[in-house]
Structure 1
Amino acid sequence: MEKILVLGIGNQLMMDDGIGICVVEELMKRQPTPEHIEYVIGESDIDYCLEQIERTPYVMIIDAIFSGTNPGDITIYQFSELHERQPLNISPHNLHLFNVLYQQRQRLKGCIIGIEPSEISFHFGLSQSLKEKLHTITDEVQATVNRRGGDQRDGSCG
């Protein structure tokens, strides 16, 4: 089975920008984890994230993404469908990473699982809104990962 990297990125010092990290931490606590799925916390270390992406055949990045939906809603962006003006730049660390994903979109397989933030500002921890929804968000992300993990035929994220 093809290896799947589930990469949580963000900055926990910027409230909901850390949702990707929180979700991956929650997923890591759940047992059992299939052998072909690896959970990694990349935080805002873009060089480390790019190293992880380069070594894995299929990547699912979990991050806070402003998409105009309700806080806690999930939107999936396929790498192959990214375009130059994709609105995935809620913070400076994302801009560099998503530019690389755009440039490599034909070669890389995977997606971004974007979680709508409620509040991005200097403060440690999630907003109350996302704290209350963390279990439900994690369940939805896990279902997406499981769908992809069970269907290795195409490049989509479930």
Structure 2
Amino acid sequence: MGKIIVLGIGNRLMMDDGIGLYLVEELSKLNRSLPVSFIIGESDIDYCMEEMMGSTFAIIVDAVFSGNKPGELAVYSIADLHEQHTLDISAHNFHLFQSLFQQRDTMKGYLIGIDPHEVRFHIGLSSILKEKWETILQEVSQTIDRLIAKG
């Protein structure tokens, strides 16, 4: 399949906005059958783009306002995000997703979004996402496996 990356983006100082970082950190500790690079990109989009160079498959994990209940997942193809003009769902996305869309012929990509409960200045997840942590972690892990198998 080529180089596969899972990229966590977010801001640890903004509560649930950091969910992508926390998830990718935890997922990087799990054994995977396929070689996957786990990258903590935080909110440095230029660093994220540099790390993704040469990849053929990218999965981004981020807090996303999709209208679901806090802690629920939504999966989007990066190409579909651009076509559907839904680039305002994440605070970190416009430059990143626009760049990924331009590379759609050489890199396939998905966004796994987790609906936040609270985004404000404070370190750590909201109590609601903490309560759902194990379920969220399991669902994101299974979704990553499914997306990679789907290719």
Q: Is the 8 A contact 2:82 2:98 kept in 1?
A: no
Please name the residue that 1:128 is paired with: 127
Q: What CA distance in whole angstroms lies between the structure 1 residues aligned with 2:59 and 2:88?
A: 15
**Residues 4 and 21 from structure 1, CA distance in 2 versus in 1: closer, same or farther, beyond 3 angstroms?**
same
Please name the residue that 2:8 is paired with: 8
1:115 aligns with 2:114: yes
For residues 12-63 of structure 1, the C-alpha deviation after alignment (integer angstroms, 9 at most, x for no partner) is 0000110000111111222x23342111111111111011222211000000
Please name the residue that 2:71 is paired with: 72
Q: Is the 8 A contact 1:72 1:116 kept in 2?
A: yes
1:72 match: secondary structure: coil
TM-score, with normalisation over the residues of structure 1? 0.85
Please name the residue that 1:62 is paired with: 61
Q: What CA distance in whole angstroms lies between the structure 1 residues aligned with 2:23 and 2:137?
A: 5
Count of residue correspondences: 150
* Pairwise CA RMSD: 1.8
- Structure 1 runs of 4+ off > 2 angstroms? 87-91, 93-96, 98-108, 148-152
Q: What CA distance in whole angstroms lies between the structure 2 residues aligned with 1:90 and 1:149?
A: 23
Please name the residue that 1:28 is paired with: 28
- What is the Cα deviation at residue 87 of structure 1? 4.0
For residues 74-98 of structure 1, the C-alpha deviation after alignment (integer angstroms, 9 at most, x for no partner) is 001101212262144442x433223
**Residues 87 and 145 from structure 1, CA distance in 2 versus in 1: closer, same or farther, beyond 3 angstroms?**
same
Please name the residue that 1:101 is paired with: 100
Q: What CA distance in whole angstroms lies between the structure 1 residues aligned with 2:101 and 2:126?
A: 30
- Gap regions ≥5 residues in structure 2: none
